[in-house]
C-alpha cells in the first residue's frame, strides 16, 4: 500500500509526538505543532497516538491512494475533497483504491493532520519519525514532501477497524464513506475555543517591568510572518526588563516565551532549540498550544495568566478527553 504524491502542498511533513529523550545531545524534539489534532486523528483510525501523521500546512497536497485506506483528517479546514465531494473531517473515512485526495481553500486554521490506519512506514531516527528539516533528518529523507514521492504505509487491517464502513463502501455510490456519528470529545476541539490563550509565569517574570507584565495580560499581540515551526514571533507593546539581566543559557520547552532585547516575545514551538539564553517571561499552557499552532500570520491574540496548578489541572482534564475518545473508538462495532 502506498500513497503517491501528485502535488506536495506548501509544507507537508511527517510528524509524530517528537524525538523524546535526545535533548541532552542538543537534538530538538520536533514533532507535531498541534498535538491535540494529531492524537485525535490517530485514534480515529485505530492507530497508537504516537504514530506519524502528515502535517499539512496552509496549501494541501494531492495524494493518490493505491489501495483501500482508512484515514482521518483533523485540525485546520483546508477543504479536503475527492472529486467534487468534500471529505468530512474529525471522523474516520474509508477510501476506495485509486482515490485521489485534494485540498482546496483554507477555511479555518493553518495546519491539518492526516492519519492513515497502519501508519507511515518510514525509518525512525532517534526513536522518532518526526521530520526535522533544518537538521535534514527524520520523516521522509529529512525533508518536506515533493512531487513524485511515494509514501509506504505500514501493515494494518483497515477492513477490520470499522468493518461496517468497509461494507458500506462496497455497496455505496460515493468514492468514500465516513462514519456518520464520529467519536466525540466531551468538549469542542481546542481550535474552536475562545481566546485568550492561557499563560503561566516564567522564571524571569518578575524581572520584567510592570508595564510589560500588564501589557502581556491585556494587550493584543500579532503573529508576525517571521514565524515558523521553530518559533512564533509576536508584535505588540515592547516587553522590557526592569534592568539589564545577565542570562546563562538553560533548557527551554514547547511554549516557553522568550523575550530578546527588542522586546518582542517569541513563543518556542515544535522545532525549537533545546536551550536558550533570553529571559523567559511566561509559558503557554500546554492545552492552549494547539490554538497557537492554528494561527495565521498577522492574526491577533490575547493572553491571560493562570497558575501552574490550573495549567496542570487543564492538562490532566485534556488527557481524560483523549482517553474518552480512545474508549469510544474501542467500542465501535468491528468484526
Partner 1 sequence: MTSSKTQAPGPSGAWHIAPLGDRAMIIEFGQRVDPEISARVRAVAQSFMLNPLSGVSDVVPAFTSVALHYRPESFSDGVPYEELRRKVEALLTLGIACQETATRVIEVPVSYGGEFGPDLQEVASLCKLSPHEVITRHAASAHVVYMLGFAPGFPYLGGLDPRLAVPRRATPRPVVPAGSVAIARDQSVIYPLATPGGWNLIGRTPLRLFLPAVQPPCLLQPGDGVRFVPISPEEYRALESRV
Positions touching partner 1 (CB under 8 A) are 20-29, 125-126, 135, 137-138, 142, 200-201, 203, 248-256, 273-275, 280, 283-286, 307-309, 311-312, 315-316, 319
Q: Which is nearer to partner 1, 15 or 286 (CB)?
A: 286
Q: How far is the CB of 200 from partner 1 (least distance, A)?
A: 6
Is residue 224 a contact partner of residue 242, using CB atoms and an 8 Å limit?
Answer: no
Q: Which is nearer to partner 1, 138 or 158 (CB)?
A: 138
Q: How far is the CB of 243 from partner 1 (least distance, A)?
A: 16
Give the span between the Cα atoms of 107 and 89, in whole angstroms: 12
Angle ∠(240,243,249) on CA atoms, nearest 5: 80
Strand order in the sheet with 92-95: 11-15, 53-57, 108-116, 69-77, 92-95, 176-178
Q: How far is the CB of 52 from partner 1 (least distance, A)?
A: 16
Q: Which is nearer to partner 1, 3 or 125 (CB)?
A: 125
Burial (CB count within 10 angstroms: exposed 0-12, middle 13-18, buried 19+), residue 225: exposed
Q: How far is the CB of 311 from partner 1 (least distance, A)?
A: 4
Instruction: Give me the helix-helix angle, 308-331 and 35-44, nearest 10°.
Output: 20
Q: What is the C-alpha end-to-end distance of the chain, expressed in Å? A: 22
Q: How far is the CB of 333 from partner 1 (least distance, A)?
A: 29
Give the span between the Cα atoms of 145 and 62, in whole angstroms: 11
Q: Which is nearer to partner 1, 10 or 123 (CB)?
A: 123
Q: How far is the CB of 60 from partner 1 (least distance, A)?
A: 28
Q: Which is nearer to partner 1, 150 or 316 (CB)?
A: 316
Is residue 135 a contact partner of residue 142, using CB atoms and an 8 Å limit?
Answer: yes
Q: Which is nearer to partner 1, 224 or 274 (CB)?
A: 274
- In DSSP terms, which residues pair with 13 in a beta bridge? 55
Amino acid at each position: 500500500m502506498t500513497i503517491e504524491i501528485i502535488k506536495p502542498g506548501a509544507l507537508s511533513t511527517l510528524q509524530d509526538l517528537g524525538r523524546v529523550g535526545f535533548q541532552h545531545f542538543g537534538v530538538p524534539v520536533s514533532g507535531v505543532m498541534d498535538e491535540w489534532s494529531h492524537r485525535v486523528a490517530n485514534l480515529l483510525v485505530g492507530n497508537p497516538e504516537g504514530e506519524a501523521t502528515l502535517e499539512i500546512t496552509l496549501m494541501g497536497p494531492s495524494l493518490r491512494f493505491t489501495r483501500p485506506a482508512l484515514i482521518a483528517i483533523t485540525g485546520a479546514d483546508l477543504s479536503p475533497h475527492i472529486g467534487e465531494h468534500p471529505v468530512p473531517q474529525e471522523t474516520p473515512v474509508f477510501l476506495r483504491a485509486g482515490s485521489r485526495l485534494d485540498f482546496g481553500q483554507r477555511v479555518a486554521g493553518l495546519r491539518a493532520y492526516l492519519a492513515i490506519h497502519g501508519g507511515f512506514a518510514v525509518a525512525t531516527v532517534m526513536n522518532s519519525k518526526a521530520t526535522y528539516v533544518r537538521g535534514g533528518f527524520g520523516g521522509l529523507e529529512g525533508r518536506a514532501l515533493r512531487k513524485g514521492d511515494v509514501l509506504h504505509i505500514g501493515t494494518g487491517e483497515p477492513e477490520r477497524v470499522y468493518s461496517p464502513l468497509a461494507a458500506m463502501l462496497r455497496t455505496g455510490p460515493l468514492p468514500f464513506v465516513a462514519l456518520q456519528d464520529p467519536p466525540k470529545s466531551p468538549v469542542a476541539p481546542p481550535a474552536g475555543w475562545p481566546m485568550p490563550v492561557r499563560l503561566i509565569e516564567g522564571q524571569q517574570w518578575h524581572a520584567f517591568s510592570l508595564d510589560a507584565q500588564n501589557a502581556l495580560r491585556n494587550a493584543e499581540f500579532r503573529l508576525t510572518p517571521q514565524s515558523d515551526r521553530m518559533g512564533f514571533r509576536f508584535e505588540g507593546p515592547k516587553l522590557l526588563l526592569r534592568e539589564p539581566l545577565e542570562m546563562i543559557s538553560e533548557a527551554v520547552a514547547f511554549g516557553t516565551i522568550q523575550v530578546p532585547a527588542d522586546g518582542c516575545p517569541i513563543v518556542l514551538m515544535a522545532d525549537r532549540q533545546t536551550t536558550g539564553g533570553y529571559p523567559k517571561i511566561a509559558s503557554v499552557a500546554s492545552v492552549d498550544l494547539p490554538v497557537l499552532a492554528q494561527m495565521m500570520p498577522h492574526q491577533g491574540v490575547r493572553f491571560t495568566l493562570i497558575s501552574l496548578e490550573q495549567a496542570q489541572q487543564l492538562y490532566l482534564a485534556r488527557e481524560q478527553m483523549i482517553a474518552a475518545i480512545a474508549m469510544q473508538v474501542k467500542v465501535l462495532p468491528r468484526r
